[in-house]
């Protein structure tokens, strides 16, 4: 699986889907640029989402709100105080983890002894190799380190707690030269517990903070500290916070808050009535503790979010509707339906205000990972912004009723009999665009081995997602083919379909394979027969079958195949 994933990333780089950002300057961890094909794929996924959620409905509208968000908005929403992840430091390797992501490190004692082995368990052999190197090169050069599959073992001669209550001590390791190597450690709780080297958890705010201020905040901080002549860290922090607060802004950590604060503006301008939705796609930013698996977890990412506002008595029914509908979108576009599943959150996993939460998960090469969350957020967000601003987000229903869509649904709860005023409930679906792109790439990536031929790659992307929809190929360099090639290309381009002309002097079969590799679903060939009867061949990527069709039918046939 790891090797297959590497081959996929290699393809992404080689064929222009994904580049390491700022590579010529040494790159930046977690930052990626989308190349010419990546940008098409990303746009196509987003477009399919927008079509399904906005254009195909009467009651969903779009919005595009500012990324730079004032402190007050995110204070009211709870993000300033609560948008935190727990962080632990590994005292052995100096790396930082979310506790649930930390590799289990065990001290296995020999019976009744303080000697034994420290074992570090990694998710795969590659990671284990990295740990082995890190320990040998940085942490404990000379120590005896062995590796068994995914486990790295350090041989401990003795482990002592000098100050037991204060959780510190030293480990005496066996070395390759036979001498001893003593390394200090901290954070030791009890011998033989699971993680003797991971510090206590501490909260870590995930938002990127910055300042709208023509004066460099560092200069303000220096000035304040000098003027106040304070040496106590806590006091300095409070003073600095006060000085910087008026210019503090954040890069939004989700697109949703921009929707909530515009609730009244949208209702007013679009004359929307419950239930209705506001869709937004755009960038969000999180200062993640650990960046992982290429674009799976990055500091800068894109979200496709839909906030659907409902009357409270309909909220459970709409929550169920959106769980089904979002799963249906994922399944419709994936080849391997078994690699997509849903998972309901346990009560202790959810935000305190949430009434229910379901994740859509994809089976990535390293295991199941969240790609989308669907949540019943109650009316918490709107209420918080009302409290902070005095703006009234209540809706009046003169004759409370049940949406026609839900008449048969048992989940609708008691409908009030008289006019009712309330703050709407929000059902949210929040899909990570970059994670969707990665999941659909993993799903599509197939290495084909035909007898007697070199192995090759076919990217079986859904035709809607494929970056290039159609490649048009003159069979040879014969100049008479050219007007037909251009005619077909024009008819497709007018329909908004990304079409390329593939006129290189390569065998036609080679040209087909090059397009299979980037997922182009259809190749059109102009040949001698075209000159006689105005027909071309259309080749299907997945079946490799070819049919002759009239030139005038090309764009309608391809449109039909893509959109169904
Ligand atoms: P995780 O548990 O993986 O950190 P989350 O539960 O914090 O995700 P949400 O807040 O529900 O994520 O965000 C909605 C979606 O946004 C996620 O399902 C995911 O697809 C995407 N997403 C969140 N954080 C990132 C990130 N750092 N990089 C890429 N996509 C992300």
Question: What is the C-alpha separation between 255 and 125, in angstroms, rounded?
Answer: 37
pLDDT average, residue stretch 269-273? 96
**DSSP assignment string, 340-353:** EEEEEPPGGGS-TT
pLDDT band at 107 (very low <50, low <70, confident <90, very high): low
Give the H/E segment covering residue 333: helix 315-333
pLDDT band for position 404 (50/70/90)?
confident
* The ligand 1 atom nearest the CA atom of 291: 27
Average pLDDT, the chain: 89
What's the pLDDT band for 161 if we cut at 50, 70, 90? low
Question: pLDDT, tens digit, for every residue of 445-474?
Answer: 999 998 888 899 999 999 999 999 999 999
82, 327, 373, best to mutate for ligand 1 pocket (most atoms within 8 Å of CB): 373
Q: How far is the CA of 525 from the centre of ligand 1 (A)?
A: 43
Question: Would you say the CB of residue 435 lies under 6 angstroms from ligand 1?
Answer: yes
Confidence class for position 138, pLDDT limits 50, 70, 90: confident
Q: Domains, the chain, ranges and CATH?
A: 36-83+253-441 (3.30.930.10), 89-203 (no CATH), 210-250 (no CATH), 468-563 (3.40.50.800)
Sign of torsion, CA 280 283 289 290? positive
Compute the average pLDDT of residues 256-270: 98
> How far apart are the C-alpha atoms of 435 and 372, rounded to whole Å?
9
- Please name which of 438, 254, 464, 447 lies closest in space to residue 362, comparing C-alpha atoms: 438
- Distances, alpha carbon 4 to alpha carbons 369, 433, 447, 520, in Å: 17, 22, 9, 21
Residue nearest atom 21 of ligand 1, based on CA coordinates: 432
Residue burial 341-352, b: 16+ Cβ < 10 Å; e: rest: eeeeeeeeebee
Q: What is d(CA 178, CA 242) in angstroms, rounded to the nearest whole number?
A: 57
> Is a pLDDT exceeding 60 seen at residue 54?
yes
Residue 549's Cβ-count burial label (10 Å; 0-12, 13-18, 19+) is middle
* pLDDT value for 231: 75
Which pLDDT band holds residue 413 (cuts at 50, 70, 90)? confident
What are the φ/ψ torsions at residue 49 (nearest 5 degrees)?
Answer: -65, -45
292 C-beta closer than 6 A to ligand 1: no
370 in ligand 1 pocket by Cβ < 6 Å? yes
Q: Is the CB of 424 under 6 A from ligand 1?
A: no
Per the rule left: phi > 0, alpha: psi between -120 and 50, beta: everything else, 287 is beta
Among all chains, which residue has been given the structure tokens 């009244």? 264
Sign of the alpha-carbon dihedral angle for 187, 191, 193, 194: positive
Ligand 1 atom with the shortest distance to the CA of 360: 18
| Beta strands at 356-364 and 248-251: parallel, antiparallel or unpaired | unpaired
- Provide, rounded to the nearest whole percent, the portion of the chain with pLDDT above 70: 92
Task: Return all residues near 474 (Cβ < 8 A) that are at least 6 apart.
Answer: 481, 482, 484, 485, 503, 525, 526
Ligand 1: residue whose CA is nearest its atom 9: 373
Centre of ligand 1 to C-alpha 375, Å, is: 13
């Amino acid at each position: 699986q790891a090797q297959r994933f590497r081959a996929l990333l290699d393809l992404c780089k080689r064929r222009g889907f994904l580049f390491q950002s700022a590579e010529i300057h040494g790159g930046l961890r977690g930052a990626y640029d989308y190349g010419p094909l990546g940008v098409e794929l990303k746009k196509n996924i987003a477009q399919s989402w927008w079509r399904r959620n906005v254009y195909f409905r009467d009651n969903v509208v779009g919005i595009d709100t500012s990324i730079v968000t004032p402190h007050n908005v995110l204070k009211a929403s709870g993000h300033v105080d609560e948008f935190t992840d727990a962080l632990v430091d590994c005292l052995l390797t100096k790396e930082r983890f979310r506790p649930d992501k930390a590799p289990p490190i065990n001290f296995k004692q020999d019976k009744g002894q303080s000697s034994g082995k420290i074992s570090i368990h990694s998710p795969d052999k590659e990671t284990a190799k990295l740990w082995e190197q890190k320990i040998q090169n940085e942490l404990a050069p000379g120590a005896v380190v062995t590796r068994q599959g995914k486990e790295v073992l350090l041989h401990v001669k003795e482990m002592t707690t000098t100050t037991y209550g204060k959780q510190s001590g030293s480990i005496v390791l066996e070395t390759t030269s036979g001498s001893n190597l003593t390394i200090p450690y901290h954070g030791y709780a009890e011998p033989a517990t699971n993680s003797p080297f991971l510090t206590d958890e501490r909260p870590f705010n995930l938002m990127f903070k910055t300042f709208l201020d023509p004066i460099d905040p560092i200069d303000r901080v220096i000035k304040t500290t000098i003027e106040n002549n304070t040496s106590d860290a806590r006091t300095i922090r409070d003073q600095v916070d006060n000085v910087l607060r008026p210019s503090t802004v954040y890069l939004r950590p989700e697109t949703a808050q921009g929707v909530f604060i515009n609730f009244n503006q949208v209702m007013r301008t679009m004359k929307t009535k419950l239930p209705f939705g506001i869709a937004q796609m755009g960038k969000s930013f999180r200062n993640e503790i650990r960046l992982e698996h290429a674009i799976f977890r990055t500091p800068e990412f894109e979200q496709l979010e839909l906030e659907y506002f409902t009357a409270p008595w309909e909220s459970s029914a709409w929550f169920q509707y959106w769980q089904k509908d979002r799963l249906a979108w994922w399944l419709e576009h994936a080849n391997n339906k078994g690699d997509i599943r849903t998972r309901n959150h346990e009560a202790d996993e959810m935000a305190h205000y949430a009434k229910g939460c379901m994740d859509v998960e994809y089976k990535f090469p390293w295991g199941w990972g969240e790609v989308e969350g669907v949540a019943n957020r109650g009316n918490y967000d709107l209420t918080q912004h009302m409290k902070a601003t005095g703006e009234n987000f209540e809706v009046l229903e003169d004759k409370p009723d049940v949406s026609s869509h839900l008449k048969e649904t048992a989940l609708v709860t008691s409908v009030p009999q008289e006019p009712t005023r309330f703050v709407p409930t929000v059902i949210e679906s929040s899909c990570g665009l970059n994670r969707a792109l990665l999941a659909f790439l993993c799903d599509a990536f197939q290495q084909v081995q035909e007898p007697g031929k070199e192995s090759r790659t076919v990217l079986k992307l859904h035709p809607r997602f494929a970056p290039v929809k159609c490649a048009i190929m003159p069979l040879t360099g014969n100049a008479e083919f050219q007007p037909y090639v251009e005619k077909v290309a024009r008819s497709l381009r007018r329909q908004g379909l990304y079409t390329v002309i593939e006129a290189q002097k390569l065998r036609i079969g080679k040209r087909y394979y090059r397009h299979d590799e980037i997922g182009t679903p259809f190749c059109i060939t102009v040949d001698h027969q075209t000159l006689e009867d105005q027909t071309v061949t259309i080749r299907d990527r997945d079946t490799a079958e070819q049919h002759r069709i009239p030139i005038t039918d090309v764009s309608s046939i391809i449109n039909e195949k893509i959109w169904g």
